[in-house]
């Protein structure tokens, strides 16, 4: 089975789509950041996602996973646009699975008005509903006979403009602990996906204002994974790092669309073995390719 993991496309709509009443609070600061130039790094996000879909089709990808941050300001219009742009990636044989990022849950109205779920709900279904203790979270997908995908939500609104940190609610961690003991996962390669990186490339925690607050609690539970991988985004660099005391490495997909930093991960799982390739973007050919990094 071939699985593609990407993250943080950050599709941007014209700021004219931002209603006047939204020009206050954190969204106003975010809009000013876009005007100041942050958004230019993602100017070709739409075209690059189309190129990523070409890679998916040409390389027989069976399942696509995305660890969030489709939007910039968490607007319903942004999320609707993003859902349309990634639609071609969702038709892989085993489908498409996602979690939200902090830019998708940018403000409380996203949760109140169900913006993210309304646009991406079909990619957040579960095969084990008894473990959904926090709304739809965490959810589990059993893919074929060899793979399980567990999704937990670490994204939350951060009303203060200088904060972009995340936290996995305790009820989700408790459910994750029970999921990893479920016999239905025995013998499967287990992916646990969430937006925030539990460790940086150097193996150290991220900062308090940017990172996952309860990363240590999350990693302690993930020690139960015998064969698997932890997937994340949020940090716009594509990296793999081993984790102390865990058999599963952390794979941050960075951003599939950020200029000069485009990347993704490709996993080939067969007969209990996993071969990992890192994705790269060739700007001249305007195409993605992947290179195996281990056997």
- Among residues 117, 46, 50, 102, which one has the least CA distance to residue 287? 50
User: CATH number for the domain including 165?
Assistant: 3.60.21.10
Residue 30 pLDDT > 70, yes or no?
no
pLDDT single digits (tens) 95-120? 999 999 999 998 888 888 899 999 99
Residue 29 pLDDT > 60, yes or no?
no
Cβ(30)–Cβ(106) below 8 Å: yes
Domain span at residue 135 reads 2-292
With a threshold of 0.85, does the pTM exceed it?
Answer: yes
268 vs 25, higher pLDDT: 268
User: Given this model, what pLDDT does residue 34 score?
Assistant: 52
User: Given this model, what pLDDT does residue 107 score?
Assistant: 84
User: Given this model, what pLDDT does residue 35 score?
Assistant: 45
User: Given this model, what pLDDT does residue 158 score?
Assistant: 84
Residue 137 phi, psi dihedral angles, 5° rounding: -105, 150
Determine what percent of the chain is predicted with pLDDT higher than 70: 90
Residue 17 phi, psi dihedral angles, 5° rounding: -80, -5
Residue 83 pLDDT > 70, yes or no?
yes
Mean pLDDT across the stretch 62-68? 99
What is the distance of C-alpha 264 from the center of its chain?
11
User: Given this model, what pLDDT does residue 160 score?
Assistant: 79
pLDDT band at 293; cut points 50, 70, 90: confident
pLDDT band at 294; cut points 50, 70, 90: low
pLDDT single digits (tens) 216-236? 999 999 999 999 999 999 999
Task: Tell me what the pLDDT averaged over the chain comes to.
Answer: 92
pLDDT single digits (tens) 118-163? 999 999 999 999 999 999 999 999 999 999 999 999 999 987 777 8
User: Given this model, what pLDDT does residue 38 score?
Assistant: 54
DSSP β-ladder status, 96-98 and 63-66: parallel
pLDDT band at 91; cut points 50, 70, 90: very high
User: Given this model, what pLDDT does residue 225 score?
Assistant: 98
254 vs 24, higher pLDDT: 254
pLDDT band at 37; cut points 50, 70, 90: very low
pLDDT single digits (tens) 195-210? 999 999 999 999 999 9
Q: Which residues contact 197 (CB under 8 A, 6 or more apart)?
A: 206, 211, 212, 232, 233, 234, 235, 250, 252
DSSP β-ladder status, 273-282 and 249-253: unpaired
Distance CA 49, CA 282 (A): 13
User: Given this model, what pLDDT does residue 182 score?
Assistant: 99
**Residues present in the chain in total:** 295
SS3 assignment, position 225: coil
Residue 28 pLDDT > 80, yes or no?
no
Number of domains in the chain: 1
């Amino acid at each position: 089975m071939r699985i593609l993991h990407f993250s943080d496309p950050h599709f941007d709509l014209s700021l004219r789509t931002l209603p006047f009443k939204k020009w206050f609070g954190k969204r106003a600061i975010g809009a000013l950041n876009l005007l100041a130039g942050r958004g230019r790094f993602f100017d070709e996000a739409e075209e690059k996602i189309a190129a990523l879909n070409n890679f998916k089709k040409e390389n027989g990808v069976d399942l696509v996973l995305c660890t969030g941050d489709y939007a910039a300001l968490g607007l319903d219009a942004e999320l609707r646009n993003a859902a349309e742009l990634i639609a071609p990636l969702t038709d892989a044989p085993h489908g498409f699975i996602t979690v939200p990022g902090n830019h998708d849950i940018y403000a409380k109205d996203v949760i109140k008005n169900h913006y993210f779920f309304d646009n991406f709900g079909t990619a957040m279904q579960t095969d084990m509903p008894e473990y959904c203790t926090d709304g739809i979270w965490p959810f589990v997908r059993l893919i074929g006979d060899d793979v399980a995908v567990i999704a937990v939500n670490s994204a939350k609104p951060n009303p203060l403009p200088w904060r972009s940190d995340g936290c996995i609610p305790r009820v989700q961690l408790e459910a994750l602990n029970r999921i990893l003991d479920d016999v239905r996962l025995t013998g499967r390669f287990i992916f646990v996906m969430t937006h925030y990186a539990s460790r940086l490339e150097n193996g150290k925690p991220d900062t308090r204002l940017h990172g996952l607050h309860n990363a240590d609690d999350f990693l302690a539970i993930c020690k139960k994974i015998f064969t698997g991988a932890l997937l994340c985004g949020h940090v716009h660099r594509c990296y793999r790092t081993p984790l102390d005391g865990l058999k599963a490495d952390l794979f941050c997909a960075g951003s599939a669309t950020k200029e000069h930093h485009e990347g993704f991960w490709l996993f080939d799982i067969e007969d209990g073995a996993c071969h990992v390739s890192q994705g790269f973007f060739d700007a001249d050919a305007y195409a993605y390719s992947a290179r195996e990094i281990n056997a």
